[in-house]
Amino acid sequence: MVLLAGQDVYLGIDVGSVTTKVVGMLADGEIAGAVCLETLGQPARQIMRGLAAVGEALSSRGTPVVVGVGTTGSGRNLAAALVGGDVVKNEITAHAVAALRLVPGVRTVLEIGGQDSKVIVLRDGVVVDFAMNTVCAAGTGSFLDRQAARLGLDIREFGRLALGSTRPVRIAGRCTVFAESDMVHKQQVGHSIEDIVAGLCRALVRNYLNNLAKGKDLEPPFVFQGGVAANAGMVRAFEEALGHEVIVPEHHALMGAYGAAILAQEWREGRGLSGRRPGRGEAVQTRFRGFDLRDLEYRTSAFDCDGCPNECEIVEVFLDGALVARWGGRCQRWERDTAVPPA
């Protein structure tokens, strides 16, 4: 075990509607601590829990120095306000940066999570096209979860069963309703569970490529990210459909948080700092508030702006009674940026 005493650590926090992930990354890119929690409709609480867990994991190896914090995901603004974030970026940027760090020549990122999915097209290290699906369950991991439940299977068995298929059946994948009806029919006809499971994996991949990725210029190397990348059946289905190898990173389920940590490192270095621990008399420029936020008094509220017909919902965060963050508008009328460090 490598001790972390005095080593610089960059934190990445990815807050989604389903899961909240926190990663502690060393300067060389190694993940020294990580946690993934269900958000459970309580993002603030889970952010604090995740932060405490990673802090404990890091502290068990010494006393590292947090020098930068990046946040991403749908709850990125809330996370930045609570923990003291230095960089706030969208999921596309975070996932792309993470993929580039691990596979420098990546040209296509395939990402499927529990409730959404993404495709990111890169050329020469730059995102040139992307698409996201946040409304159709048939293009996400929840599609497989629901079908696994109907078959009485643990979703973790899907990969093994799919790889054991000899004649995958064709199942309608454009809609979960049609998929369920089709799956029942295939069972009644007498197809094996292995062939049905493999067919479900192919259906999700077909839906992904024909809808989300339609019209996109998909080229290898391909990197598959998100929790669904743990499913070997899905990996094979993508490889068969694309005709190329699909790379699955070791920390495929943490790539959003990992990318946020990398972005924090780039922010630190981009501001002329070496990333090394500040010397005596040199101010620490991160906004990080610490791993233990149990005593932090916070409050969130929202209101509808009546400044124009858009009637945007504006979200506010108060810490110790003071307004520290505000977002949600389509213009800058109510914006209060917590991601820009003081000059």
CB–CB of 62/6 below 8 Å? yes
* Every domain range in the chain assigned CATH 3.30.420.40: 8-93+256-292, 105-248
Query: Does 101 or 327 have the greater pLDDT score?
Result: 101
Angle between helices 141-151 and 193-207 (to 10 degrees): 160
Q: pLDDT (tens digit, 9 = 90+) per residue, 161-202?
A: 999 998 998 887 666 667 778 878 888 888 899 999 999 899
CB atoms under 10 Å from CB of 229, counted, come to 24
Fold classification of 105-248 is Nucleotidyltransferase; domain 5 (3.30.420)
pLDDT tens readout for residues 303-319: 998 888 888 888 888 88
Each residue of 211-226: pLDDT tens digit? 889 999 999 999 999 9
CA–CA distance from 217 to each of 105, 115, 125, 131, 159 (Å)?
Answer: 16, 24, 15, 12, 28
d(CA 300, CA 71): 18
Mean pLDDT of 200-208: 90
Contact 16, 72 (CB under 8 A): no
Residue 255, pLDDT score: 97
Hey, what CATH class is 8-93+256-292 in? alpha beta
Say whether 338 sits in a helix, a strand or coil: coil
Predicted local confidence at residue 339, as pLDDT: 43
Residue 216 burial (CB < 10 Å; 0-12/13-18/19+)?
middle
Query: Is residue 339 within 8 Å of 85, Cβ to Cβ?
Result: yes
Alpha helices by DSSP H, listed for 74-140, are: 76-83, 91-102
- pLDDT of the residue at 331: 79
CB atoms within 10 A of CB 62: 14
Phi, psi of 155 (to 5 degrees): -55, -25
Quick one: how far is CA 240 from the chain centroid?
Answer: 25
Which segments of 35-111 does DSSP mark as H helices, in order?
43-59, 76-83, 91-102
What's CA 181's distance to the chain center, in Å? 31
pLDDT tens for each residue of 257-280:
999 999 999 998 885 444 444 454
